[in-house]
Amino acid sequence: MANLKVTLVPQLSDNYVFLLECQQTGEVAVVDCPDAEPMIALLDEKQLTPSKIFNTHHHWDHVGGNEDLISEHEGLAVYAHSSDASRIPGLTTSVDHGASFEVAGMTFGVLHIPGHTTGAVAYTIADCVFTGDTLFAAGCGRLFEGTPEMMYESLNVKLAALPPSTRVYCGHEYTASNLEFALTLEPDNQALLDKQRAVQAIRAQGKPTVPTTLEEEFATNPFMRCDQPAVIQAVRSKLDGEPRPAAVLAAVRAAKDAF
């Protein structure tokens, strides 16, 4: 949607906060903010008043700024998944899978994507999706609360159903190390080699590698390539019996955890 402006705001060592502005109505929303102080200063400098916070999950490096942002901007609404109601500071609006709502004339959608945490959600708007710590560029979040089956469905059924051109805004700058790991599984994947070269150039300039697109993830992300012979072969020794996609994902996740 031409009216939506997304600004990446780096925080902490590798988090991304997203500032969403509707250029027609001036409405402003924030996706996941760990540290309120620099965000308040930035909003002040840009003379923006946020009306909403969209939280992707309950981890402190995503919700840590909620309370101070609310005290600064009275009436700020906080959105998160209904199952996370008790662990999102300042929550005002519980959302569930399939929900959609209007903000400044733009339609937001909600996908429940458990795996990293049980209450993880993605928000879709226009041609963008905000995936928190569930889908990263060339990777996925650790399975802290969910099962491999949940993560498989979140990535490969729910997120994968969005148009391939969808721009993926994830919560951390982990792309370079994710690619390094992915290449241990698929050293001959040309899309991976090309992406690594591009990412090295971007990082050399100190720029973000986010957003990526779903299309790029289908070609490079091992957690979205669990049906690929090379990926299956790479973890074959860890699988007993049929290489069920969720079992492949579990084996790839375990290998990444130890990487």
Active site residue 44: no
- Quote the tokens at residue 64: 């840590």
Binding mask 47-86 for Fe ion (x = CB under 5 A): ------------x---------------------------
Q: In the set 21, 133, 153, 173, which binds Zn ion (CB under 5 A)?
A: 133
What distance in Å separates the CA atoms of residue 161 and residue 125, rounded to the nearest whole number?
14
Which of 57, 58, 73, 81 is labelled catalytic? 57
Classify residue 86 as exposed, middle or buried by CB count within 10 Å of its CB (0-12, 13-18, 19+). exposed
**Three-state DSSP class for 45?**
helix
Segment 91 to 130, residues that bind Zn ion, using CB under 5 A: none
Least CB distance from residue 216 to Fe ion, whole Å? 22
Active site residue 57: yes
Task: Give the nearer residue to Fe ion in terms of CB position, either 59 or 225.
Answer: 59
Task: Give the nearer residue to Zn ion in terms of CB position, either 155 or 232.
Answer: 155
Which of 32, 58, 61, 84 is labelled catalytic? 61
CB neighbour list of residue 154: distance below 8 Å, 6 or more residues apart: 111, 112, 113, 114, 115, 120, 134, 135, 146
Contact of 170 with 132, CB cutoff 8 Å: yes
Active site residue 172: yes
Contact of 65 with 36, CB cutoff 8 Å: yes
Segment 50 to 79, residues that bind Zn ion, using CB under 5 A: 61
Which of 58, 73, 84, 133 is labelled catalytic? 133
What distance in Å separates the CA atoms of residue 221 and residue 177, rounded to the nearest whole number?
12
- Binding stretches for Zn ion (CB under 5 A): 61, 133, 171
Give the residue numbers annotated as catalytic, written as ranges. Answer: 57, 59, 61-62, 116, 133, 172
- Binding stretches for Fe ion (CB under 5 A): 59, 133
